[in-house]
Amino acid sequence: MSERLRLMAVHAHPDDESSKGAATMARYVAEGADVLVVTMTGGERGDILNPAMERPDVREDIAAVRRREMERAREILGVRQEFAGFVDSGLPEGDPLPPLPEGCFALTPVEEAAAPLVESIRRFRPHVILTYDENGGYPHPDHIMTHKVSMHAFDTAGDPDAYPDAGDPWQPLKLYYFVSFPPERFEALAALLAERGLENPFEEWMERLKDRERPRWEITTRVECSEYFDVAERALKAHETQVDPNGFWFAVPNDVVAGAWPTEDYHLVRSLVDTEIPETDLFAGVRDTVRV
């Protein structure tokens, strides 16, 4: 009997799953894989970034609103989803930065914070895990903490002596970082827009990105998923509090984006199977190990 391929994506907040790797997940779901999103926090301290949703009823019930948004996005992507149960840490601002709120996710000891994720891994038994790099993709405390717990969980979920009450041990075979906004992607898009005589709505954003100090991870794996860019966009727009549908992010049609950069991109961090870099499939090497 064949075994279904299983992919787990670990994210910090509702909406992260729809802005990073969403088209990849939709593609693998369409191909028959089982995909689970684990959301570490409820996004309770997130800002409302869509002016149309800045209403008292939304602000007062933001935790429930974000859960409903997550459920709509989950349905659009066709994935499973579960919350790990931690409280959003918020993004501290100011100089000096204020302390993080007591009891939040980012202040939880890593071993304790990883426990629900280990349980999810042992229950779902993923072959591949997707997560953030040590900078969190961007330096939000919850994204950085998500990196830490993901690495810890990957390394301990298969250890029978670790978390003895969290279910039968299971060792995932591969772990990747999202490489969500590589400069090369936006340079390719800028070149295509210029070639077509179209305005580049990302120009100012790209300039700001150049000023950020962040690790540059080699893209080891490019997953062709442009057929699912529209699905990913609908999922992201389902998070109505977090994205302005009239904002610059949606200004370029997906077919134009696909013409410049038809993939979502990843960096292979851990692999317990043989694979050759560069890859075009997150399950490269896994398919040879698992009967599918």
The pLDDT tens digits for 160-187 are 999 999 999 999 999 999 998 898 999 9
Hey, where are the domains in the chain?
6-182+216-271
Q: What percent of the chain has pLDDT over 90?
A: 86
SS3 39: strand
Ramachandran region of residue 136, left (φ > 0), alpha (ψ -120 to 50) or beta?
Answer: left
- Residue of 135, 137, 127, 152 lying closest to 20 (CA atoms): 137
Identify the pLDDT of residue 56.
Answer: 92
pLDDT > 70: percent of the chain = 97
155-161, Cβ contacts within 8 angstroms, sequence gap of 24 or more: 156/114, 156/118, 157/118, 157/121, 157/122
pLDDT class for 65, splitting at 50, 70, 90?
Answer: very high
Residue 257: band (very low, low, confident or very high) from pLDDT cuts 50, 70, 90? very high
Confidence of residue 96 (pLDDT cuts 50, 70, 90): confident
Q: What is the pLDDT of residues 123-137, one digit of tens each?
A: 999 999 999 999 988
Q: Please give the CATH number for the structural domain made up of 6-182+216-271.
A: 3.40.50.10320
The number of helix segments (H) and strand segments (E) in the chain equals 10, 7
Cα–Cα distance, 251 to 140 (Å, whole number): 26
Rounded to whole angstroms, the Cα distance separating 248 from 208 reads 14
